[in-house]
Structure 1
Amino acid sequence: MSSDRAAERFEALLARAHEQLGIAVYDGLMSAGGPPELRDPDQMLGRLLASVHRRTGDAVVGRLARSRRGPSEPAGVGRAAPAEGLLMRRSASVRLKYREQAMNCARQYWPLDVVQVMGAAVDAVQKLIAGLEEEMLPDATRDRLLRVSSSLGRVLALPQHVQLPPALGGYDYVQEVEDYLSTCTWRLVAQARRSKQLLDGELAPYFHAAEISWLGMLEVSQDLGDDLDMAHREALSLSRAVAAVEEASTDFRGADLQLVDLDGVDLEGIRWDASTGWPPEWEKRIWKASLAAGTGQGELIVGAEPSDSTVPADI
């Protein structure tokens, strides 16, 4: 391994370690109710920790700036892993505390099933291409394409990124969820916009021409089909992102929640098991409100109301 390659790997490890340290500090503070009111001895320790973290960050940034890369080479140091895994790595107490905000965020970015919408658009254009290759256009073709254009308009109405106030260290959990969903949505909306422009601006005028140009219409339709295929893939990415947020907001199997203040927290739909640690005063209530998930793996789901039957303790 070359020395440059070894240096890059070392710098990537430093950047990753610094990021994880910041997340751990932030999650620890927020799960305990936010930054504590410091007394004099605590202030010295807190300032020392903050100084160490800041100096570590400065050192990492300095090393990255001095790294020897070509001008056209993309920066790979510190590149985040897929957000599906990162969300589940966050502290269970923080995921539980902010689960309602995270779920609401996911619902805002998933007001309609975009996978179904884009899949129907792809099917409609593929049928158009098949007809054009046979030089036949069914009577309903134009109406079908109008519906596709309308569906793309609904995709374009998906929410734009909302910039939240900067958080301590930049590790706010809700901000991370928002950034993840908005990035996937941005890619989908950009591809849907290109598809709609091609459909409305280049394909639709052929239906108003005095004579159909079969070859020209076929070429535009094929380009539109390619664009919609890409949009469909972006819709699948957004679907996976929403599922990852929901998973991080509901899966607390094996989590240690004994020190979490559960007052006011919506627990309905949470998945847990016998290894999940609840606050002692909540344990009986959780068991009574839960039902077996039926997966055969000892998984339980918290219901909206206490159950009339008792879940076996040895499930």
Structure 2
Amino acid sequence: MSGPGRGGSGPRDGTAAGAGTGAADTGLTGTGVAGTGLDEVLARAHRALGIAVQDALTGRGGPPEPRDPDRALARLLASAHRQTLAAVEQRTDRLRQRERARRPARDGGLMSRPAAVRLKYREEALRIAREHRPQGLLTAVGRAQLAVQWLIGLLEEGRPAGRARGALARAGEELERALVLPRVPRLPPALTGYAFLETARERLGVRSGRLTERASGSLGLLETELLPRLDDSGSCGAGALEVALDLADDLDLVQRAGMALLRAVREAEEAGNDFRGADLRDVSLEGLPLEGIRWDARTLWPPGWESRVRRASLAIGEVPGVLVVGREPGDRTVRVDR
């Protein structure tokens, strides 16, 4: 996560950073760190950091008002933990997507449903997934996180926070506009027995509800608790920093809920599009939209359909041997590696 961190994690302007660099280098140069114990290494690093901090404070006109060092350290560690967790979750999610692109998932989820059922109700499942996708909500949450981190940095330094207040107000308006996720009507009674659609709806609905609830709570905290403590001139009322820290924690939970919903959306989309290795010989394909379906040499088609589907398919570059059905038949046949 970019943007200013909490707890004064480092110099915030070029002058202070330049002033502290030489002192920090002096404290660690020629110490023979490799042959010392961990305690001595930490002690020397602590001394070098103290020199750098002193230089930075001097460059800013002297130290600020005294603060509880334990609280400052706790905020710094909490901020680092949250940002690390968010980065790890995003990377893990990308790795999961790449792995799913290489082989179908058979973990008892939506992909474990019979291929004939997934294909028959594919359009409905994809529509449900699209309507639950948190398109602008995660973007709005990210901007609110940057704004509140900026505010926290200003408040901890005792600087005017008028511009940060404006950014927070705009982020709150964007969050409110993106907060309402479309409600998908329940299936008619004739379809309620099909577990595939019901499972997809349940998984998406639970995660969507959790995201909406947490985002609404964060928006309420912003509008009723934090913004009233700030004014356009940049001054702040009592407890503004504590409320800002609480809001940062809440927004982190909102982001995690949004990522969970996004993973569920992708699972539903995968179940509606991934038919690699599927047996479709007994499925009546007439009238069914096949555009966007992924298949490979292991996919079994009804008699006469493989050549038709192959003419309409294009190769997926990043996954060898996998084809995706296009809108219209192509001019040449695409081979599938066997």
TM-score by length of 2: 0.64
1:162 matches 2:185:
yes
Counterpart position of 1:228:
251
User: Aligned to 1:267, what secondary structure does the other structure show?
Assistant: coil
Q: 2 CA distance for matches of 1:170 and 1:203?
A: 48
How many Å separate the matches in 2 of 1:143 and 1:84?
Answer: 47
Asked if 1:301 is matched to 2:324, the reply is yes
- Residue 128 of structure 1: CA displacement? 1.0
* Cα displacement string for residues 221-245 of structure 1 (whole angstroms, at most 9, x for unaligned residues): 0000111000000000011011111
Secondary structure of the corresponding residue to residue 140 of structure 1: helix
Does the Cα contact within 8 Å between 2:181 and 2:208 map onto a contact in 1? Answer: yes
The amino acid across from 2:251 in the alignment is L
Secondary structure at 2:239 match in 1: helix
Is 1:274 aligned to residue 284 of structure 2? Answer: no
Matches within 5 A, 1:13-162: 85-110=108-133, 112-160=135-183, 162=185
- Over the aligned positions, Cα root-mean-square deviation in angstroms equals 2.5
| Aligned partner of 1:174 among 184, 194, 197 | 197
1:236 to 1:104, Cα distance in 2 relative to 1, 3 A:
same
Shift of 1:127: 1.2
C-alpha offsets along residues 269-309 of structure 1, whole Å, 9 cap, x if unaligned? 11100110111122211010011112353111111111112
Question: For each residue in 1:242-264, what CA deviation from the matched residue of structure 2 results, as whole angstroms up to 9, or x when unmatched?
Answer: 11111111110000001111122
Residue 193 of structure 1 and its aligned partner are, at CA, apart by 0.8
Deviation string 1:154-199 (CA, Å, 9 cap, x unpaired) is 3431124633345678443222211111110100000011101100
Tell me how far apart the structure 1 counterparts of residues 158 and 108 of structure 2 sit (CA, whole Å). Answer: 49
> Do the aligned partners of 2:296 and 2:322 also contact (CA within 8 Å) in 1?
yes
Query: Counterparts of 1:84 and 1:152 in 2: how far apart (Å)?
Result: 35
Larger displacement relative to structure 2 (137-146 or 228-237): 137-146
SS at match of 1:301: strand
SS of corresponding position for 2:314: strand
Task: State the alpha-carbon separation in 1 of the partners of residues 334 and 215 from structure 2.
Answer: 48
1:9-40 CA-partner distances (Å, limit 9, x unpaired): xxxxxxxxxxxxxxxxxxxxxxxxxxxxxxxx
Three-state SS of the structure 1 residue aligned to 2:321 is coil
Q: Is 1:284 aligned to 2:307, yes or no?
A: yes
The answer to whether residue 260 in structure 2 is matched with residue 237 in structure 1 is yes
* Higher alpha-carbon Rg: 2
CA separation of 1:85/1:155 partners in 2, compared to 1, >3 Å: closer, same or farther?
Answer: farther
| Structure 1 stretch displaced more, 293-302 or 176-185 | 293-302
Q: Which runs of 4+ in 1 moved over 6 A?
A: none
Tell whether 2:259 aligns with 1:259.
no
Q: Kindly tell me: are residues 226 and 174 of structure 1, through their superposed partners in 2, closer, same or farther at Cα, counting changes over 3 Å?
A: same
Report if aligned partners of 1:288, 1:306 keep a CA contact under 8 Å in 2: yes
Distance in 2 (CA, whole Å) between partners of 1:135 and 1:215 is 13
Determine whether 1:195 maps to 2:187.
no
Offset from partner CA, 1:140-164 (integer Å, 9 cap, x none): 2222112221122134311246333
Cα distance in structure 1, aligned partners of 2:232 and 2:106? 48
- Greater mean alpha carbon deviation, residues 106-115 or residues 266-275: 106-115
3-state SS in 1 of match to 2:308: helix
The residue identity in structure 2 corresponding to 1:266 is P
Q: In structure 2, what is the equivalent of residue 246 of structure 1? A: 269
**In 1, distance between residues paired with 2:272 and 2:170?**
35
One-letter amino acid matched to 1:194? G
Residue 146 to residue 168, structure 1, CA distance change in 2 (3 Å): closer
- Could you tell me how far apart the structure 1 residues matched to 2:134 and 2:242 are? 33
Find the residue that maps to 2:297 and give its secondary structure: coil
Opposite residue 280 of structure 2, the aligned amino acid is L
More off after superposition, 103-112 vs 183-192: 103-112
Q: How many residues align?
A: 234
Q: Which runs of 5+ in 2 are unaligned?
A: 1-104
Cα offset for 1:216? 0.9
Matched AA of 2:123: E
Q: Contact conserved, 1:258 with 1:279, CA < 8 A, in 2?
A: yes
The one-letter amino acid of 2:282's match is L
Contact 1:155/1:189 (8 A) holds in 2 = no
CA, structure 1 residues 83+111, in 2 after alignment: closer, same or farther (shift >3 Å)? Answer: farther
Q: Structure 2 CA distance, aligned partners of 1:264 and 1:139?
A: 60
- Over 3 Å counting, the alpha-carbon distance change for 1:280 and 1:310 in structure 2 is same
